[in-house]
Amino acid sequence: MGFLNRLLRFTLLLHMGTLAAEPLRVGVNFAIPPYVIKHQGRGIELDLLTQAFVGSGYEPRFIYLPLERTFRMLEEGKLDAIINVKPGMLKHAYLSQPVITFHNRVFTLDDRVIHSIADLKGVRVSAFQRARQILGEDFASMAAQNPRYEEVARQQSQVQMLLLGRTDAVILEQRVFYYYLAQQRESEADSGRHAPVRVRQHALFAPTHYHFAFRRATQQQWFDRQLARMREDGRYERILASYEASSSAENIKASP
| Per-residue pLDDT reduced to its tens digit, 123-171 | 999 999 999 999 999 999 999 999 999 999 888 899 999 999 999 999 9
Q: What percent of the chain has pLDDT over 90?
A: 72
Give per-residue burial for 212-233: e unless 16+ CB within 10 Å, then b: bbbbeeebbebbbebbeebeee
Split at pLDDT 50, 70, 90, the class of 2 is: low
Report how far residue 24's alpha carbon sits from residue 60's, in angstroms, rounded to the nearest whole number: 5
Rg (CA), the chain: 21
Q: What percent of the chain has pLDDT over 70?
A: 85
Split at pLDDT 50, 70, 90, the class of 110 is: confident
Report how far residue 57's alpha carbon sits from residue 18's, in angstroms, rounded to the nearest whole number: 8
Express each pLDDT in 49-86 by its tens digit.
999 999 999 999 999 999 889 999 999 999 999 999 99
Please answer whether residues 153 and 129 qualify as being in contact, where contact means their C-beta atoms are separated by less than 8 angstroms. Answer: yes
Does pTM top 0.75 for this prediction? yes
Going from the C-alpha of 18 to that of each of 48, 68, 226, 231, 247, the distances in angstroms are 20, 33, 20, 26, 33
Specify the pLDDT at position 246.
82
Split at pLDDT 50, 70, 90, the class of 11 is: low
